[in-house]
Amino acid sequence: MTMIKNERVSIPQAAKELGMSAQGLREHIKAGYLGHVMPSVSGRTKTYFVYREELEAFKRGQTVKDPSEAEQKTEALTQIMTKLIQETIQQMQQTQINQ
């Protein structure tokens, strides 16, 4: 199988490959075993995702040993996404002002 760098696997597909429910996979993600969870800008919902490379590593028994490491990665991703969203909103507002 050819892997695309940073290819995301849907939660239902990843759960199927691991022989668990989608909710079970979300619990594994929240615990820091694999994948990532990102809160929405509003903070009311969360997006869960898994990259193909980490799914394959998990299937081989290679997991994140320290859940705090996963939390740090998720926090960094959250900060990056929040900044990108804020910049996009500012650009859209500026475009509206200039029209």
Mean of per-residue pLDDT scores for the chain: 83
In this prediction the pTM is 0.59
pLDDT in tens, 12-24: 999 999 999 999 9
C-beta of residue 4 within 8 angstroms of C-beta of residue 11: no
C-beta of residue 50 within 8 angstroms of C-beta of residue 61: no
Amino acid letter, 88? T
Model pLDDT, residue 79: 82
Residues 34-38: contacts with CB within 8 Å, 24+ apart? Answer: 34/58, 34/63, 34/64, 36/70, 36/73, 36/74, 36/77, 37/74, 38/74, 38/77, 38/78, 38/81
